[in-house]
Amino acid sequence: MIKSIITLGIESSCDETSVAVVRNGREVLSNIINSQIPIHEKFGGVVPEIASRNHIDAISIVTKQALEQANITYSDIDAVTCTYGPGLVGALLVGVSYAKALSYAIGKPLVGVNHIEGHIAANYITHKDLKPPFIALVISGAHTHLVHIKGYNEFEILGKTRDDAVGEAFDKVARVIGLGYPGGPKIDKLAKEGKPTIELPTTHIDGLDFSFSGIKTAIINMNYKNPNINKADLAASFQKHVADVLENAAIKAVEKTGLKKIVLAGGVSANSCIRERFENLKEKGIQVFYPEMILCTDNAAMIASAGYYNYINGKRDGLNLNAVPNLKLGE
Ligand code: KG4
Ligand code: ZN
């Protein structure tokens, strides 16, 4: 029998303190997520200093819960994996420092994980047979990337945002129309009550890059000039615009790579309008995958999964591992 490999994942890049235990990169034994959303909600967004302090409060307790729920002890762990970037530096440092101390104390290897790789790996948990190569569309609060996944540890960026991330645009539009933080789920809900009848400007970009700052500014201006504008129609129109942009980019990526397999990842992949739109691509013979809802937004199971693929590929980090706030995919 092949020995199972157990990875402990630690995630603290933004406002979720999460620790998970995953077997062989695919089977979640525990995934504890302590969200700080209620703490940051009143500020309309994540306050980095407050996020770091709350990670410190939570991390030991969350780790203890993850081990208990997985019914394992420290000696069962094969590798301690943690997000070391990209993200908020103070928030990342909590998880990185904790992972380093734990790896040293229990004498198990340390593996630093790129958070974006983690979002993609969430799909390996949901879809047990999913294997590279495929195209990944990573759409989160901080990232918008179209990536050719050539292997578990081999990536080629096909396109990325030149300004705002798509989730950032959702959050800003939501704030302006009075919905609060985090905006994505609130726009998703409100849009169901409206119709996408408001015409919005399109931004033309060559290749596979994205730009969302124009649409965000257009909506802010519309709302400012006409405070009585129907907010549900505005939400529905914005969402339709984003779905159009993402769908077109995905089709172009299929044409460019010849790969008819698209994997969505990141918080915005929870969006019902975007999912519906990508479902339609199946009629064109394109396979489409999304993570289950709980694995779309930040969580440590996805980090333990990506950490597993890094670990079996021989990646090891030393006790000098540092947080890298602007870490790029493939670095
Ligand atoms: O992946 P994530 O937890 O964090 C980053 O790595 O950035 O993504 C958070 C983002 C937020 O911008 C949030 O508004 C957005 O995901 N989001 C959604 C939905 N659920 C979360 N956006 C659109 N529709 C949703 N249902
Ligand atoms: Zn994330």
Q: Using one digit for the tens of pLDDT, what is the confidence trace for 180-196?
A: 888 999 999 999 999 99
90 lines ligand 1 (CB under 6 A): no
> Are the beta carbons of 138 and 120 closer than 8 angstroms?
yes
Rounded Cα distance, 35 and 33, in Å: 6
Find the range with the poorest average confidence among 43-52, 61-70, 129-138, 238-247: 43-52
Gyration radius (Cα) of the chain, Å: 20
Q: What is the pLDDT of residues 263-280, one digit of tens each?
A: 999 999 999 999 999 999
> Which architecture does CATH list for 132-291?
2-Layer Sandwich (3.30)
Tell me, what's the pLDDT at 45? Answer: 85
- For residue 3, name the pLDDT band (cuts at 50, 70, 90): confident
Mode of pairing for the β-strands spanning 79-85 and 6-11: parallel
141 lines ligand 1 (CB under 6 A): yes
The two three-digit tokens of residue 6, written as one number: 């157990």
Q: Is the pLDDT of residue 298 over 70?
A: yes
The residues that bridge with 152 in the sheet, in sequence order, are none
Please report, rounded to a whole number, the percentage of residues in the chain having pLDDT higher than 70.
99
The alpha carbon of 51 and the centre of ligand 2 are apart by a number of angstroms equal to 14
Tell me, what's the pLDDT at 250? Answer: 96
Rounded Cα distance, 203 and 193, in Å: 26
Tell me, what's the pLDDT at 327? Answer: 97
Q: Is the pLDDT of residue 1 over 80?
A: no
The residues that bridge with 11 in the sheet, in sequence order, are 18
Tell me, what's the pLDDT at 221? Answer: 93
Rounded Cα distance, 37 and 25, in Å: 28
Residue of 12, 17, 138, 140 with the most ligand 1 atoms within 8 Å of its CB, for mutation:
140
- Cis previous bond, 182, omega within 30: yes
- Helix runs in the chain, H state only: 37-41, 48-70, 89-106, 115-126, 166-176, 183-191, 213-225, 231-257, 272-280, 301-312
The alpha carbon of 164 and the centre of ligand 1 are apart by a number of angstroms equal to 13
> Which architecture does CATH list for 6-121+296-312?
2-Layer Sandwich (3.30)
- For residue 2, name the pLDDT band (cuts at 50, 70, 90): low
Q: Is the pLDDT of residue 305 over 90?
A: yes
Q: Where are the domains of the chain?
A: 6-121+296-312, 132-291
Nearest to 183 by CA among 216, 152, 205: 216
Rounded Cα distance, 319 and 65, in Å: 25
- For residue 29, name the pLDDT band (cuts at 50, 70, 90): very high
- Name the residue with the closest Cα to ligand 1, atom 14: 184
Q: How many CB atoms lie within 10 A of CB 318?
A: 9
Rounded Cα distance, 143 and 163, in Å: 10
Please give the order of strands across the beta sheet that includes 287-289.
Answer: 154-160, 144-151, 134-139, 261-265, 287-289
Residue of 277, 297, 302, 303 with the most ligand 1 atoms within 8 Å of its CB, for mutation:
297
- First CA to last CA across the chain, in angstroms? 34
The alpha carbon of 81 and the centre of ligand 1 are apart by a number of angstroms equal to 23
Rounded Cα distance, 131 and 186, in Å: 33
Closest approach atom of ligand 1 to CA 167: 12
Rounded Cα distance, 101 and 268, in Å: 33
- Helix runs in 158-290, H state only: 166-176, 183-191, 213-225, 231-257, 272-280
The alpha carbon of 276 and the centre of ligand 2 are apart by a number of angstroms equal to 22
> What's the mean per-residue pLDDT of the chain?
95
> Are the beta carbons of 249 and 159 closer than 8 angstroms?
yes
Residue with structure tokens 């989160």? 140
Helix (H) or strand (E) holding 79: strand 79-85
242 lines ligand 1 (CB under 6 A): no
Q: Is the pLDDT of residue 283 over 60?
A: yes
222 lines ligand 1 (CB under 6 A): no
Phi-psi region of 268 (alpha: psi -120 to 50; beta: other; left: phi over 0): alpha
The residues that bridge with 138 in the sheet, in sequence order, are 145, 265
Q: Is the pLDDT of residue 108 over 80?
A: yes
183 lines ligand 1 (CB under 6 A): yes
Q: Is the pLDDT of residue 55 over 60?
A: yes
Please report, rounded to a whole number, the percentage of residues in the chain having pLDDT higher than 90.
92
Closest approach atom of ligand 1 to CA 87: 6
pTM of the model: 0.96
118 lines ligand 1 (CB under 6 A): no
Q: What is the mean pLDDT of residues 130-153?
A: 97
Q: What is the mean pLDDT of residues 215-231?
A: 93
Q: Is the pLDDT of residue 134 over 90?
A: yes
Note whether 6-121+296-312 and 132-291 share their fold.
yes
